Amino acid sequence: MSSLTGQIAVVTGAGRGIGRAIALKFAAEGADVACVSRTVENSEKVAAEVRALGRRAWALAVDVSDATAVNAAAEKILAEAGKVDLLVNNAGVTRDGLLMRMSEEDWDAVLDTNLKGAFLFTKVFARAFLKQRAGRIINISSIIGLMGNAGQCNYAASKAALFGFTKSVARELGSRGITANAIAPGFIETDMTAALDEKTRAALLEKIPLNALGKAEDIAEAALFLAGPGGRYITGQTLVVDGGMVM
């Protein structure tokens, strides 16, 4: 039997990259998956991939910072799936810029998606988790929340805040058998890193002891561990998956 057989997972930011990898990994391990993305096209595409693995899937286009939209999505998922066992708060955006030039709009956009989105989804499913006295919450943060990065004050603030949010949720819900953990990915192979010139890429690799960028599947494997039997007695923790860049 696969480790997630019979479970229902909700993955935000599932349309591409890390979120897509997690959705497909969970499906491969037996979970049915609600694929949440900002666009119908992306959510439908990943949901089709989940179904191709023989699992049920729901495709939902949701602005994760919109409480009304989040509540409606949760209501639909719970009505059709009957329950939710796993929640992965992965949705995130960047609006990079130096502090002195950063607009209030860019600050709000990043905090609303990266932090408020996790708050809204966790809040809306907490009641169901409490009733069933079980649930796994996984928040996808970043090593930028640990180390900071010039030009990313908004992103770093949002990702650092997720660590404190995760610990507080773990303390609030732990007595009912619910775990809450965070994953802090390092530099992962994406469209953005693929565009780096050789000099920039080489300088980045020098800072990583394993001398390689990570893959989305590396984060998916970490999420699977926290979601599966091995994560039963782990809560309030941050699992750093960065090739040793931050120690």
Query: Domains plus CATH for the chain?
Result: 8-241 (3.40.50.720)
Question: So what's the pLDDT on residue 239?
Answer: 98
The whole-angstrom separation of Cα 72 and Cα 169 is: 22
pLDDT for residue 1 is more than 80? no
Question: So what's the pLDDT on residue 68?
Answer: 98
Question: So what's the pLDDT on residue 234?
Answer: 98
Predicted confidence (pLDDT) per residue in 104-155, tens digit: 999 999 999 999 999 999 999 999 999 999 999 999 999 999 999 999 999 9
More confident residue, 191 or 213: 213
The residue from 155, 163, 165, 187 that is catalytic is: 155
User: Annotated catalytic, 233?
Assistant: no
Q: How far is CA 31 from CA 62, 75, 143, in A?
A: 21, 19, 28
Question: So what's the pLDDT on residue 23?
Answer: 98
Q: How far is CA 99 from CA 48, 103, 104, 150, 192, in A?
A: 41, 9, 10, 8, 21
Query: What element of type H or E holds 102?
Result: none
The whole-angstrom separation of Cα 175 and Cα 116 is: 24
Question: So what's the pLDDT on residue 193?
Answer: 76
Mean pLDDT, residues 66-85: 98
Question: So what's the pLDDT on residue 196?
Answer: 79
The whole-angstrom separation of Cα 214 and Cα 161 is: 23
The whole-angstrom separation of Cα 180 and Cα 182 is: 7
Query: Residues 213, 185: contact at Cβ < 8 Å?
Result: no
Mean pLDDT, residues 55-77: 98
pLDDT for residue 197 is more than 90? no
Amino acid type, 187: F
The whole-angstrom separation of Cα 140 and Cα 158 is: 11
pLDDT for residue 62 is more than 70? yes
pLDDT for residue 202 is more than 80? yes
Task: Give the pLDDT band of residue 42 (cuts 50, 70, 90).
Answer: very high
Query: Residues 229, 3: contact at Cβ < 8 Å?
Result: yes
Question: So what's the pLDDT on residue 177?
Answer: 97
Nearest residue to 86 (alpha-carbon basis) of 190, 191, 11? 11
Nearest residue to 181 (alpha-carbon basis) of 166, 203, 165? 166
**Mean of pLDDT over the chain:** 96
Pairing of strands 178-185, 135-140: parallel
Question: Exposed, middle or buried, 233 (CB in 10 Å: 0-12/13-18/19+)?
Answer: exposed
Predicted confidence (pLDDT) per residue in 158-194, tens digit: 999 999 999 999 999 999 999 999 999 999 998 767 7
Nearest residue to 40 (alpha-carbon basis) of 63, 55, 12, 59? 59
